[in-house]
Structure 1
């Protein structure tokens, strides 16, 4: 459900990064809700079906809805409230926003195109340097998930 083509009314990005390698998976949707989050998880799960994935999420209501069906190979790890700095994907969003903050877009489609251009420019090495901060990597090593 990557909506890179066509006119849109809303634009929400869902994504995860692997802080050890910089590998990432990002899709955009028209809504920020349980149904779209579930589709995102299903697509991510299908891409890596043989692996168990721990995805760190904030405390958005759609992350823990009673209606959310989480694929069997995904574990949601809820971060403490009001701590986006501990989530590797939030660091990536911050970096993308830095490159676009002084731009003026006439339409949402223009903004969306510019955001995807920024994502497409990033290498795995760059994503790793953005999201793989020492305290995050140390937590992975201590947990045994490295």
Structure 2
């Protein structure tokens, strides 16, 4: 329906693509998790409690695993506007239907939505509906028990982790059967 609207009513041209968008906060505070130990031995790990953080904005396409990530210092309308503009420029030859949550920065009145992007809001308080949440989980699992000394070192770890997450890896993470079936029926 949104693809038909974009082409017929808005008169947009280009390939119609479906993306999922979200942001995540990644900080210097240690991400803990399971550790393998011998039976009966309580796992131990060094932790740090620094509260400096950065935000990673991203979009992923469940059908192909194509993605775009960008780092910002804050989560606000200004940063989201810059991100939308970067995404619109990166995928200039496509019409993007973008699923996202109902965060205040996504619904701000002063937000200028680029012409090749159509926002599709998911129901409130339902992050499990957005497949990119699984990408954040995968990213953070790779950062468990890391102890970066500053934000620059954390950024380097994030970049290394994103390079490992190739298009096929992302497609395997976000390519839920129900979404792929719906997209095949929608014939985007």
**TM (normalized to structure 2)?**
0.68
CA–CA separation in structure 1 for the residues paired with 2:131 and 2:186: 16
Match of 2:95 in 1: 52
Match of 1:115 in 2: 158
Match of 2:13 in 1: none
The one of 99, 112, 118 equivalent to 1:69 is 112
- Structure (1 or 2) with the larger CA radius of gyration: 2
Query: What are the residue-to-residue correspondences of 1:89-108 with 2, within 5 Å?
Result: 89-108=132-151
Match of 1:30 in 2: 73
Q: Where in structure 1 do 4 or more consecutive aligned residues deviate above 6 Å?
A: none
User: What SS does the aligned partner of 1:11 have?
Assistant: strand
Which stretches in structure 1 are left out of the alignment for 5+ residues?
Answer: 1-8
Is 1:15 matched up with 2:58? yes
Which stretches in structure 2 are left out of the alignment for 5+ residues?
Answer: 1-51
Does the CA-based 8 Å contact 1:92-1:131 persist in structure 2? Answer: yes
Q: For this pair of structures, how many residues does the alignment match? A: 137
**TM (normalized to structure 1)?**
0.86
Pairwise CA distance, 1:70: 0.6
CA–CA separation in structure 2 for the residues paired with 1:100 and 1:62: 27
The one of 152, 164, 167 equivalent to 1:124 is 167
**Deviation string, structure 1 residues 71-107 (Cα, Å, up to 9, x no partner):** 0110111111222222122111111011112222221
CA–CA separation in structure 2 for the residues paired with 1:36 and 1:29: 7
Higher fraction of helix: 1
